[in-house]
Amino acid sequence: MLKKIEFETILPIWRDHLWPGRKSQIEPVSAINSEGLINVTIQGYKPHFFGIYENHELIGVNSCHRTSLKEMRSRGLWVHPQHRHRGVGSRLLLQVFAQAKEDKASRIWTMARQSSAEFYLRLGFSAYKETSQYEFGPHVFCEHLVT
């Protein structure tokens, strides 16, 4: 079952599983814009956190927040290794499309790790930029229009 969750619920998953040993503090909203630059005004936007539960266990999470009036970032997607390749990640990404429509954003973007970029490309995203500027290796910026 997909539910809206709180930052306090997603934080331990992000800290222990998605970003173990991360040096920078994990904030509810990231200040990175869709070009990979820091813009602290982004932190004024409201974040949304999503989780998928199976038998009361949280098996996948994602979040989104605007980075400008028309742009929505999908951030922090993670699926428990034992539950991968069953469509859980896709469902969590589709939830961001629903939220983007509700918030009238016209473009979704994400900063994908190189190891997961293919996942986004298979779901119709296009890669538009690469960076090695942030922790956890090279990242690929991927985008998708909201129709």
With binding defined as CB under 6 A, does residue 119 bind ligand COA?
Answer: yes
Query: Do residues 110 and 120 touch, judged by C-beta distance below 8 A?
Result: yes
With binding defined as CB under 6 A, does residue 86 bind ligand COA?
Answer: yes
Q: How far apart are CA 92 and CA 90, in angstroms?
A: 5
Minimum gap (Å) between residue 102 Cβ and ligand COA:
22
> Tokens for 104?
């009238």
Minimum gap (Å) between residue 55 Cβ and ligand COA:
17
Minimum gap (Å) between residue 90 Cβ and ligand COA:
3
Q: Which is nearer to ligand COA, 47 or 89 (CB)?
A: 89
Q: Which 45-84 positions form the footprint of ligand COA (CB under 6 A)? A: 77-79, 84
Q: How far apart are CA 105 and CA 68, in angstroms?
A: 9
With binding defined as CB under 6 A, does residue 116 bind ligand COA?
Answer: yes
User: Where do runs of H (alpha helix) occur along 26-112?
Assistant: 88-102
User: CA quadruple 34, 97, 121, 117: dihedral positive or negative?
Assistant: positive
Q: Which residues bind ligand COA (CB under 6 A)?
A: 18, 77-79, 84-90, 112-113, 115-116, 118-119, 122
